[in-house]
Amino acid sequence: MSVTSEVFRGSPKGKIAADKTTQTLQHNKVYNKTTHSGLCGTDEHFIHSGQVLGHEGIGVVRQLGRDITNVKVGQRVGFGYNHYVCGVCEKCLSGLDQYCEKKEYNSHDHNLSSFSKGVL
């Protein structure tokens, strides 16, 4: 299943440019409608890049991959720089999910981040 979202990228001129991106909702992913996004000093470093800006977001779950059991459609969620952690390793269970060996950062895909109307 595919989802299309309006996103806001940096540009070579340092202006934020609107764009659309289409992503595949995989079995282990969640599609969130973004309702709020933080502005981080890190975004200033990427304003001249073509990547979608922002990495601190809040949203509402709109669609679930078939293997997702820990959140529900309509639930409010937050996300940060890590877009995925396993949730079951020693690091995750001790509250140190930033050290999870299976983590995925928002920078692993420059089309995903919180300056968007929706994010996986």
Spot the catalytic one: 4, 35, 36, 45. Answer: 45
User: Distance between CA atoms of 86 and 44, rounded to whole angstroms?
Assistant: 30
User: Distance between CA atoms of 79 and 5, rounded to whole angstroms?
Assistant: 17
User: What is the layout of strands, in order, in the sheet containing 76-79?
Assistant: 76-79, 57-64, 30-37, 118-119
Query: 42 an active-site residue?
Result: yes
Spot the catalytic one: 24, 42, 48, 108. Answer: 42
Known catalytic residues?
Answer: 42, 45
